[in-house]
A and B are shown apart, each in its own frame.
Chain A
Amino acid sequence: MTKRTGSLALAALTLFPALAFASGAIEGDVKQQATNWHAIIMFVVFVAFTMGITYWAARRTRSASDFYTAGGGISGFQNGLAIAGDYMSAASFLGISAMVFDKGYDGLIYSMGFLVGWPVILFLVAERLRNLGKYTFADVASYRLQQTPVRSFAATSTLVVVAMYLIAQMVGAGKLIQLLFGMNYSSAVIMVGILMVCYVLFGGMLATTWVQIIKAVLLLCGASFMAFMVLSTVGFSPELMFEKAVAAHAKHAAIMAPGKADPVDSISLGMALMFGTAGLPHILMRFFTVSDAKEARKSVFYATGFIGYFYILTFIIGFGAIMLVLNQPGMMETITKDGKQITQLVGGSNMAAIHLANAVGGDMFLGFISAVAFATILAVVAGLALSGASAVSHDLYASVIKKGKANEADEIRVSKITTVALGVIAIVLGLVFEKQNIAFMVGLAFSIAASANFPVLFLSMFWKGLTTRGAVIGGFIGLATAVVLIVLGPAVWVDVMKHKTALFPYKNPAIFSITLAFVTTWLFSVTDNSKSAAEEKAKFDAQFVRSMTGIGASGASKH
């Protein structure tokens, strides 16, 4: 481990950044580490292999349906892995295991919040979404409403969510590569941007999905091996593992019990995670890659299983790190932070899983885990880019500008131009935000998805009375409320803008912004007495029959 000595101070995990961590941001100042050749070589092998897949996928990607949804030919099992892959980000692996390492039980609470949204998505959203939509969630939201305003709204909120997520991932990639590979920040950001564009531009959804599947399998295997090795050191007795961890940890028995949390914040965070998941455009688009409602259901079942299993593994890994890494010779360093001397894990708590990889599997395995952690970011940004590109080409270009009369070749061309533009924007933003505190960004993405996309999507499928006016006004109010309350809350007003106290006391606004979005959508729909509103309500029955039976739903194209 001597090559990883160096002092770095990652920001302490507070509640809100934990949300950001768990889904994509590596925070704080990071000092470049010594070059880790094992990791770099394994990462190059991963990139070479996925480029091969992209080449294979490019030859099968011709129509718009191929590009956006892999022709609807992904199986439920494969899609389940891909969805799980979207969820098991590098930061979720490193961040949640770090949180368990620091706080014990609280880490498990967070992973639960990320999981319990999935069953609800299955029961209420998944098959209706598959039966009604084609390429984007806006297809569903605008099914019986006016195309121009509803798709403009959906595309706007999609792009905002994608931008927030992308910035978090790019900055995370830059910091991870300094930590894991010992390479510099800018080279990481540029490399991630270019590879992301290559996967999406040439391979479309087929390549994007397979990159995600491969990474998910590698990550699950690596984490399983680590958890197995941890348990084998205690003779597979969890009780013995907990005893040893409690003895080693400075907080002692407190790591076995939940810490203090504000009830409003906890419930609000739970709502943001649950409904945000059901409103994230890059997750929703995965439901269009399977052939029918049956496969859509299966994919959520498999995804829930993989994600739940993964979170149990990270819990064991966190405790394993307390037991095998904490206070071990060569694993700790003393740094000066804000004028105080603190002793921490070399590289900070986020490195807990990485150090544990070394402790249980040696240098080669350390390289493997580092490479997988970085590959994960690539897979996630590719999905984000594709989702942003389809919002521009399918919703804005084909439906709003060309009024549904665009030809397919032009639509694909716009998609590809957008992909390249998103790559350039992502690189620029990644470089601009290097020194910024971006902990709030993924939280903001989840809150916007929960407060803008989810209410509109949900009401369009479940409530006959929804009208264009209600959807657009309510959706934008949800979007604006989420953004404003986060800016006025502790995450931005205090942590970023350095004011003393926050104007809005809660870290997570979801409970307020989701409620407001539902109420205003309802209000502006029921007071809408226009002729078009009446027509929209009349179309609900046909939409309902299709959402239930799948009659008329777009099927899989054959290759």
Chain B
Amino acid sequence: MAPRVGIVGIGHIKFGNLSEYDLVDIMAYTATDALRDAGILADRRMVDQLFVANMGGGVINHQTGIASALVSRLGLEPTPAELVENGPASGGSAIKLGYMAVASGMADVVMVVGGETMRKVTGWKATDFVATLGHPEAEYGMGLTLPAFGAMFARLYMERYGVTERDLALVAVKDHANAARNKYAHVQEPCTIEAIHESPDAHVVNNYVAEPLRLYSVCPVSDGAATVILVNMDSPKAAAFRHPPIRIAGLGSATDTHCVHNRKDPLHLDAVRLSAEKALAMAKLTPQDISFAELHDAFVVLELAIAEEVGFYPRGKAVEAVRRNENAIDGKLPLNTSGGLKAKGHPVGATGVSQVVELVRQLRGKAEPGRQVKNPRYGMAVNFGGFGNNVVAIICAKE
């Protein structure tokens, strides 16, 4: 029987514009933060394996061999270290590999670090770089960027399910309210529905980015890093850590067609559904057992669509929960308690790890006042790569 795997250390840096810092330095910062949190900073050689999630070091920062650089920066040689690149799902994939390393018995303590510095280049270059995950001829070569995908998806979703721009703005208001209380969030400024949707100034204050998506419908371009430390809960080493482990109860991943236009229905995010089904089955849970979730809302419409694919709501019905404010911190099902990608930020390689850091903070009961979910038991993260073509879902449980 495979050992249980838990998270005993977390580290995070405030997302934002960190362009004056080196990519490996900010990764090392969060790794050190996690080692300290785990209580093994002095004994960091307990780490048997390092996985590093990053998407654009070679392209944006002209830096490769990042895992080797980080292991050396941390003084962890000769610990094995590998880089994981899986688009915006790199973080989730790195945690998955960390889980597999522990579950297989190859390692007892694994550190997973995700990081990205995207603001060293202009927003256009960052957008262009992320767009390279599309099909080189059918998508990227035709000028399709992720905001363009998001806009087309949103338009179809809105038409089919009667979702309005006001509904999308309500998701943003909720996300910003959460981020305003999250010390790690990129945008810690709340917004109001009056200001971004109803006021006579709203069309300028909340301008279109890619119609129907507005400024407050899309995530910012962020720098940042996050770290988790995994442990074999059934190993004697587990006793060395400061915090009781938060168990990884379920983990699933799946893929979909590279080209969005090859899908039977472009609104069906099959990889999300399949990865969530696998994670829930592994955890022996149903969607209704989940206390809160971090969903990959690079565009706020994705929070609705992913919530439906996971099974929290029937297709087309998530918007009703939004209108009832059910996804707020004190609602029936809090979503994106961190502020989500929308307001916490989206440094692509860091995002999946950051989502799991948020699960751990909530399950430990250590989120900031006003942002703590009441008595959470199970948290779910959905890390979405490509435009839904490579997805990782992770469920964490408070033992």
Q: Judge: A and B partners, yes or no.
A: no
